[in-house]
Every structure is written in C-alpha cells, then in structure tokens.
Amino acid sequence: MIPVSLVACPSYDPETVGTAAARAFDRAGGPDPAGRTVLLKPNLLNASDPDKAVTTHPEVLRAAIRLFRARGAARILVGESPGWQSAALVAGRTGTRAVAEEEGVEWADFSDTIIAEVPDGRVVKRFEVARAALEADLLVSLPKLKTHKLLFFTGASKNLFGIVPGLAKSRYHLRFPERREFGAMITDLVLAAKPAFALMDAVTGMEGPGPGNGTPRHLGWLLASRDCLALDWVAAGLIGYDPGDVPYLADARDRGLLVPGDIEVGDLDPDRERVPDFDRIRVPHDTDFFRARLPGFIHRLARNLTVDRPAFSDRRCVACAGCVKICPARALSFREGKRAPVVDYAACIRCYCCHEICPADAIKLVRRPW
C-alpha cells in the first residue's frame, strides 16, 4: 500500500501547522533524514503575498524545516527557480526568505545546473535541472494545492517543474504544447528528480483560474506522502476532479507508475472531506476526440479554434513585460499606442504561461478576445 496522509490544519498559526505537519509526516511514514542533506522545494510561482494562495505559505516551509531538523537532518536548503522573476524578489515577497533566515537554513542556487538522465522517460530522456535538487539526499516537494489552466490541477509533481531553471521551462511548453504530452513530461520529471517526500499546503488552496490568478479557498488540510503522484491523485479527487483527467496522473497510471487501488489515505476520511463545489477548470474531452481523428496540422488548427486563448486588458496591464519574456512561441510584442502586449494568435500555442505569471490579472482566457 502507498500511504497518503490527510490531516486537519485549520490555520497558518505556526504551532498548528507544526503539529499537523509532524502528524502528516509520521502517518505517511516519512523518510529518515538523520545525517542527510534535505532540499525543500516550495511552490514560488511569482512574487505574491502569501494570502493570495499563489505560493506555498511560509509557515508550511517553517514547519517542514523544523520537522526535518528535529529528526536529525545534517543540512537543510530551500530552493526554487521562478519562471521569469528573480528568486531573490520572489523569496522576499512570499515571506520565504524571512522564514529561511529566521530558521537559519541556506538558500540553494538553482542557476547551477546538471543533467538528469531518465532512461525510462517516455517523452524526455534528459533534463537540465538544479544541481542542488538532484544532489540532495532527500528532495522534498512543498506544493500548494491549486487549479491549473493547462493541467487542470497542480500539486506535488508539477511543483518539481521549478527545479528546471528559469526560462528553460518555456522550451518544454514549446516542445509539448498538448496537455497529454506536457503531462507525460511532468511524469518523466518525477522519475528524473526522484523526490523522497511531499508535504502539501492545502490549508488554503486556489480555485478558479489558477495557478496564478484564481481565488483563495480555505480547505483546512495538510497532505503528505513519499509518493508525489499518489498524493496528487488524492488531492485532485478531494477538490472534485476525476484524478484520471489530470494528464500527468493519467500518464503515470497508464505507465504503471501509479496504482490508484494501492493508495491508503489517513487520518481524515477523503469521502467526508471532498469539496464538490470547488471551482475547477473545465475538462474538455473534445480535443482528444479531434486528435484521434484528424491529421496533425488540421488538428492543431482545430485545437487553436476550439481551446481558450489569451486576451489582454490594456486597462489592467502594468507593462511589466513578464509575459513577453516567458512566451515560448514569441507570440507577444508591444505595439505603439497599446499598453498591453499584442498576441499573434497564429503563433500562440495556448500554453497559458502568460496567464500563469501575469501579476496584474490582465490576461483572461476566452474563446474570443475582449
């Protein structure tokens, strides 16, 4: 059986989180960190205040630091490579740097990279990843439970995408514009990174148009497991998804890396905790239908016509240029007389990276432009 713990954690009060994290760790049979180097990887998508629920709450990071230290870890590091903003800026705004300093742990330099080989990878055999993450004895994912426009849900496994350095992430979006292949890439990344444990911040999750511009929703849980995929399967189910609709979970199940029937959840009952009215991303099944029946270039055309596309608000845009920098298809540019970038819809691959990182909620995903 694969234990996944689901424990009550009603608030971010440090003592409450600390007690819940220890309970979640023990129930999940967490790894022995004695004498070992532990790399904690929170989700720090962008420079947001903790109460926006975009990033892992700093009190969950603090609880994880104390938990591994109390169990004898020799060295604890914290690391993340945000998509386009500097790690220093993001760590400061999210409260992560303050907690790391208060607790006396090091910030890992994720710009120093190494190649991780994945012989069993389905779509990727080699990843360039942060050396500190790969060489740590224990890599620990500290995700935030959120919706995700491209993958419908993001948790412990997708959080590992942050060990791929900065804008290199865009290359994978360009290479795998389809959900299914992008999901397989995430599964390959889990194989490459070999995370030892995950502790999920689901005290307050994000519903609506996540992962960057949704709405905080209080859930009151921490989840933990030695298996990131199993944890995500449980968490996606708790917010009302059929977990098999999440592309990387379906891929992992189909590859035999995840056996849902082997997952054992404690100590809360997931059937009682489920939140059926959680505002989820709609799961379209029509693109799979077209994909199976149409030649590639016609399918791409049909997909671009049928899936949501980004539309920019001149009024809300603060012209930070983040979306232009991160766009893997180079589909965005500034034009005279317009504050917000202009989209070349023929080039746009509908990866939604721009929507994910926009700090001003200036990008909506719609069938037609505003």
Contact 93, 47 (CB under 8 A): yes
Measured CA distances, 145 to 19, 217, 232, 338, 349 (Å)? 20, 10, 9, 35, 26
What DSSP designation does 339 have?
S
**Cβ closest to ligand SF4, residue 277 vs residue 336:** 336
Our finding on whether 329 is near ligand SF4 (CB under 6 A) is yes
Contact 94, 129 (CB under 8 A): no
- What is the Cα–Cα distance from 171 to 51, expressed in whole angstroms? 31
Our finding on whether 268 is near ligand SF4 (CB under 6 A) is no
Provide the pairing of β-strand 2-8 with 263-267: parallel
Please work out the total of residues on this chain that contact ligand SF4, with binding judged by CB under 6 A: 28
Which residues ranging from 334 to 363 are in contact with ligand SF4 (CB under 6 A)? 340-341, 343, 348-354, 358, 360, 362-363
For residue 163, give the nearest of 62, 64, 54, 79 by alpha carbon.
Answer: 79
Output the smallest distance, CB 149 to ligand SF4, in A. 9
The window from 4-12, 46-54, 125-133, 320-328 that contacts ligand SF4 (CB under 6 A) reads: 320-328
* List 39, 127, 327, 364, residue binding ligand SF4 (CB under 6 A): 327
Output the smallest distance, CB 302 to ligand SF4, in A. 17
For residue 194, give the nearest of 118, 249, 105 by alpha carbon.
Answer: 118
**Cβ closest to ligand SF4, residue 24 vs residue 349:** 349
Read off the tokens for 105. Answer: 């742990």
* List 210, 310, 311, 364, residue binding ligand SF4 (CB under 6 A): 310
The window from 55-63, 158-166, 179-187, 319-327 that contacts ligand SF4 (CB under 6 A) reads: 319-327
| Residues at the contact surface with ligand SF4, assessed by CB under 6 A | 310, 312, 317-323, 327-329, 331-332, 340-341, 343, 348-354, 358, 360, 362-363
